[in-house]
Amino acid sequence: MSSRRISRHARVRTIATVATVCALSAAPLAPRAVAADSDPPYTETYRPQFHFTPEKNWMNDPNGLVYYKGEYHLFYQYNPGGNSWGDMSWGHAVSEDLVHWKQLPLALSYDDQEMVFSGSAVVDWDNTTGFGSETNPPMVAVYTSYDKATGKQAQALAYSTDRGRTWTKYQGNPVIDIGSTDFRDPKVQWYAPTRSWLMTVSLSTGHKVRFYSSKNLKDWTLLSDFGPSGATGGVWECPDLFPLAVDGDKKKIKWVLVVNVNPGGIAGGSAAQYFIGDFDGTRFTAEDKGTYTPPAGTVVQDFEGTDFGSWTTTGTAFGQAPAAGALDGQGTVDGFDGKGLANSFHSGDGTTGTLTSPEFTVDSEYLNFKVGGGRHPHMDGTVPEQGPPPAGTVLADFEGGTYGDWTTTGDAFGTAPATGTLPDQQEVSGFLGGGLVNSYLGGDSTTGTLTSPEFTLDKDYVNFLVGGGNHPAGSDTPTAVELIVDGTVVRSATGQDAEALNWASWDVKDLAGKKAQIRIVDDNTGGWGHINVDQIMLSDTQARPMSQETSVNLLVDGKVVRSATGSNSETMDWASFDMRPYLGKKAQVQLVDMNTAGWGHILADTFTAADTPAKSVLQRADWADHGKDYYAAVSWENVPDGKRYMIGWMNNWDYAGSIPTSPWRGAQSIPREMALRTIDGRIRLTSKPVNSVASLRQDPASTTGITVTNTSEPLTGAAAGKALDIEATFALKDAERFGLKVRTGAGGEETVIGYDTTTQELYVDRTHSGAVDFNNSFPGVQTAPLKADNGKVKLRILVDWSSVEVFGGSGEAVITDQIFPDPAGQGVRVFAENGSVRLDKAVVWHLDSAHT
């Protein structure tokens, strides 16, 4: 269950890992305060109007999806006490149509001993458990019990005999306990051929799904394991197994195994992977997709020589020659070709440097290569080394030997600033002068706060240096720097699990003239449970952080135009740069290692000029959704007419704790009807919004038969809105890219939903969709493979106050993304780039609120 997200972060090259709550992978910059306390419920800025959200507090994974006596039950991971992850319990809502939801009281609560993690629910029609009766069969929840004392995860039961309104935990819990801290998210169903219950559950860090059988839900027999397979860049969670007819033929049944992955999804962070195959009652067997052969091409660098040849190095990370595999202290390196590769682990993760090719003329459409090592992407705006701070007003430089008029609580910060590295701490660097804030006093086990006096925000930016643990504000146990205005945390930042301090900056132009305070918080007693801070200042210039990337970059005119990175793995995988925009131009390839923390190195090999792109394991895997915000996807049991409806948490653990919503945080996707269709000769899992969404449609606006050339233009005025259902069909002409722009507004705000004919991909670009600065991984472009059908591209787009869901073709290409635009931005435009496209027809419906 992504809920308690027990993710893993490598701290040392031995691949020793420290378990942390998944929500703690959230981001460095926290959100703006967006809703006044006086806003009526469900009218707040960014509040979804036809997606389920709790009235207040934190929500993540959908749980316990079952249909019973006319109601679809949606349970969900819920914190009854606040707007961040913690005290995981099961919230509860019901619906008669999967669109209009009624929130019910808390179903399963945490207690002093356990948190209630993800799971499923069934109707025990034959009363196999004895929890009900023949005339009143019980509803039974099967959930992961998280032992708060030991961290162990086991499977447990609770039951209800009043349609899920009240619940009793089974006295014989747990019903399966293998002594593991990574054993979670049971999905249970009735398997008719053996007249028994079937459980599908995750061995998360092992990248395996395990199957169990039971006659009574209490006593379970191990059947088999599946995996590792497909995408394994993160933990496997929230599995689901179900049968579907292929192309509607009930005589041709295939089984679908959904496995949610975090991180390491197709768009980065969290995502829902699936496998198609067969289940024989004991074992799931995925269809064999064969071995992968990369495109042929001309190898331009294979690192097989005794030196780097004409490639040049800086620093010491890459050594003087290619490596022959793993270096001293490094785990096993595999996936490279031949005998040599570029490997920046020389002398460990603490070294930095670059390896740069000579300049060349781009004469091939793609540059394919193998990459591995750390996942530290290139970030625009970074600099190679720390320069002097921008001019401004220093609020605190911690140089005076005391904290002055700052106030402390707890014991983590001591009575005075530190002068550098503390006992038993790794070397601290990057601070200015002789003093800094360092909450490692007494080790990671100490906690406390350090708060500034009040000051006026009279410049555009707050700049400061920060390092230490990556535990953002909004997580259960933060190590964070917070900006407080009117008693509310409106900005925050955290470290990156590294002792080196780096510049962070908050844009506070919208808070000009406000009174504020800085609060530095250390509430974490685990690994990296401390924070380092220095040189807090107000400035009209934004500080530029030093690069901390481990990446392979393509430079054109001295600027990085393409970049790839590893996936925190020593196993190398294919990556590809699209070189077509740069044909005939001069370029260089540069390998960069500017990171000195865990996974602070990069691997690269076999640079090959080719006519087609190589595909990575992620690209070769199958995904239920290619967006950033569809995770923990599971389906309802016992649905009428045998339909299969699925829903996912519309968020991503990369930034889940930092999205700018209040007093709630977390939304569910629109429920989707799933099907298997043969597309381009291959069986694919497809989805479409449930039909009942149409019940919200009002005031359609139609546009037909227009050709757009090298421009964008608004659809009819009636098409504008914040909550829309759009169906559009385009006829290809010669435009390279075309589509619709939604939520357009002042200052260039827009969310672009397009099709790229050169790559045959659907895409969503949210880089200018409004508030995007609360996390480095939030802005970006998500893509999904989609071939035109007889020269046509069909799109179904659901736009809500803070999301877009795009269904391309027959539903084989789906992209779900959160957006946080200005409420005034409600325009819809059609566009074409580098040519023309014909919009055959577009119908835009306004959608009523499901809350009314």
Catalytically active residues are: 61
Which three-class secondary structure string do you get for 48-111? CCCCCCCCCEEEEEEEEEEEECCEEEEEEEECCCCCCCCCCEEEEEEECCCCCEEEEEEEECCC
- The label of the residue with tokens 């499901």 reads 850
Q: How far apart are CA 79 and CA 106, in angstroms?
A: 10
For residue 51, the tally of other CB atoms under 10 A from its CB is 23
Contacts 24+ apart (CB under 8 A), 87-94: 87/115, 88/3, 88/4, 88/115, 88/116, 88/117, 88/146, 89/115, 89/116, 90/63, 90/64, 90/116, 90/141, 90/143, 91/54, 91/59, 92/164, 93/52, 93/54, 94/164
Burial degree of 320 (CB within 10 A; 0-12, 13-18, 19+): exposed
Residue 655 to residues 75, 493, 598: CA-CA distances in angstroms?
23, 12, 20
Q: Do β-strands 437-438 and 220-226 pair in parallel, antiparallel, or remain unpaired?
A: unpaired
Which three-class secondary structure string do you get for 259-275? EEEECCCCCCCCEEEEE
φ and ψ of 715, to 5 deg: -70, 175
Q: How far apart are CA 435 and CA 242, in angstroms?
A: 59
- The label of the residue with tokens 């700018």 reads 660
Contacts of 87 by beta carbon, 8 Å cutoff, 6+ apart: 79, 80, 81, 110, 115
Q: Give me 468's structure tokens.
A: 């230490």
Amino acid (one-letter) located at 664: W
Q: How far apart are CA 185 and CA 154, in angstroms?
A: 9
**Can you spell out the DSSP letters for 518-539?**
EEEEE---STT--EEEEEEEEE
**Which one-letter DSSP state was computed for residue 195?**
T
Length of the chain: 852
What residues does 603 pair with on adjacent strands?
343, 372
Q: Give me 110's structure tokens.
A: 């945490």
Contacts of 179 by beta carbon, 8 Å cutoff, 6+ apart: 152
Burial degree of 121 (CB within 10 A; 0-12, 13-18, 19+): buried
For residue 225, the tally of other CB atoms under 10 A from its CB is 14
